[in-house]
Amino acid sequence: MSDSPREADEEERTTVTIRRAPKFSVFVVVGALVGIIAALVLASIYPADPAVGFGATFGLLSLFGIAFGGLIGAAVAILFDRRASRRATQVIAGKLAVRVDDEQSETEDDAPQDDG
């Protein structure tokens, strides 16, 4: 390591907003899975038409269940996102720019590393 400290050129301060945002994809996937489970329950409760069969009935219901479940999951994610944006806080963050001399960084890269 070098004996001379790195020089700090300047520190830039800015105001940033911190909030917890939901992952929309997780809500949509969970909603779709709930829709599939609801389709399975609905297909199992009612007797299947012998001409169509259980599989076709479940397939048709699962298409609607996935679509509506995904939409409901997305709506819930939007509600949570709006709630999170109301609870957002603003803080002051500092970004410190550090300048390193080219000669100094090359000698540090060539120095032997102690792995142990």
Per-residue model confidence as pLDDT tens digits over 39-73: 999 999 988 888 888 999 999 999 999 999 999 99
pLDDT digits (tens, 9 = 90+) for 78-93: 999 998 888 878 888 8
Q: How far apart are the first and last CA of the chain?
A: 16
Strand partners, 3: none
Are 39 and 109 spatial neighbours (Cβ–Cβ below 8 Å)?
Answer: no
Which residues fall within 8 angstroms of residue 74, CB to CB, at 6 or more apart? Answer: 24, 27, 28, 31
Global pTM reads 0.63
